[in-house]
A and B are shown apart, each in its own frame.
Chain A
Amino acid sequence: MKLEILHELNAERAARRPAILVTDTESGEQRLVKAKDFARDPLCTELEKQLRMGKSASVEAGGKKLFLNVYAPTAKLVIVGAVHISQALAPLARSLGYDVTVVDPRTAFASPERFPDIPLVAEWPDTALPPLNVDAYTAFVAVTHDPKIDDPALLHAFERGCFYIGALGSRKTHAKRADRLRAQGAKENDIARIHAPIGLAIGAVSPSEIAVAIMAEITAVLRLPPKEKEEAA
């Protein structure tokens, strides 16, 4: 690997931007394709598929054997609300490989006894969220049921372009939330991005089951191609 390529790749990884290293395994020739350049690459379809799956693979193209090595950032999950559901959701998400942080200004909720080994930030969203570097590789859920906490958190998630945004609450609760967010200047297409009621409809009842429904929905958004994603939702 040429040093320029290695240097560039490390810079992309440090900035949490996905990239794929394409290697001709016969000649040793290599090129690095950044995610923003996928669309105009001849291997576009293969690159997009492998990135979505988060899987490196060998492919054949134009009579050449190519190895596509996928470098994607570790996904984060930010949970706003240190509630009962979050106690099940945080360890489940961690077992799926996410870097998990729980945010809740209410110290009685955000206590290490309730969340052993999970990073906790007992601050209001405007203080807690900016240092977390919420980005496009972040799934974001707001589950406090308290508009004073959930609403500013959701506005932050819109701004940062999270790949998944979910909020707890019935359709009725969500309609009220949408009105409040609109009043605070949120765009319609951002409001439409919120998954609410949160989680896949699997008839979840207990906090652990709701956690499974949420992680299933996040996984679907992360892994399915856009068309099948619509069908799942």
Chain B
Amino acid sequence: MLDRDEDILKAAEDWQKAGRGVALATVVETWGSAPRPAGSSLVINDEGTFLGSVSGGCVEGAVVTEAMDVIQSGKPRMLEFGVADETAWNVGLSCGGTIRVFVEKVG
């Protein structure tokens, strides 16, 4: 209730209406000391512009890359990032937590 996120969903709607391909990535589960709570989201368009945050900067790059595929295919996917995960060694959740991020196409 008390979050003050920038208006990610408004941007999603505006971008979609302007004819852009748009994807929404949302943190759906967290374990350990995750940087952003469930419900945090990131909106991405097909130009690679993004707004919002799912991890405070740690894995956004990887999420944006996956989101591009989701915009193409239209199929949602679930991403997981954590220290036990090979990807995490590359993109890194240095806090030691694990997060699961749901990526879906808008429209």
Contact = CB atoms under 8 A, between A and B. Distances in A.
Nearest to B27: A56
B16 A6 contact: yes
Given A6-B12, A10-B10, A69 B2 contact: no
A56 B106 contact: no
B92 interface: no
Interface string B14-26: 0010000000101
Nearest to A13: B9
B39 A69 contact: yes
A56 B39 contact: yes
Contacts of B28: 23, 25, 56, 58, 67
B61 interface: no
- Most B CB contacts (10 A, CB to CB) among A2, A9, A28, A57 go to A28
B96 interface: no
Nearest to A52: B1
A3 B38 contact: no
A96 B3 CA distance: 10
A73 interface: yes
Contacts of A10: 9-10, 13
Interface residues of A, number: 28
Interface in B17-75: 24, 26, 28-29, 37-39, 75
A179 to B, nearest CB: 35
A23 B76 CA distance: 11
A2 B107 contact: yes
Contact of A96 (B2, B16, B24, B102): B2
A67 B26 contact: yes
Contacts of B76: 25, 28
Contacts of B107: 1-3, 6
B78 interface: yes
Given A56-B37, A98-B2, A25 B12 contact: no
Nearest to B29: A58
Nearest to B24: A1
B106 A73 contact: no
A119 interface: no
A147 interface: no
A55 B28 CA distance: 11
Interface in A54-79: 54-58, 67, 69-70, 72-75
Given A10-B10, A75-B1, A55 B106 contact: no
28 contacts: A1-B12, A1-B104, A1-B105, A3-B13, A3-B106, A6-B9, A6-B13, A9-B9, A10-B13, A54-B1, A55-B39, A56-B28, A56-B39, A58-B28, A67-B28, A67-B29, A69-B26, A69-B38, A69-B39, A72-B1, A73-B1, A74-B1, A74-B3, A75-B1, A75-B2, A96-B2, A97-B1, A98-B2
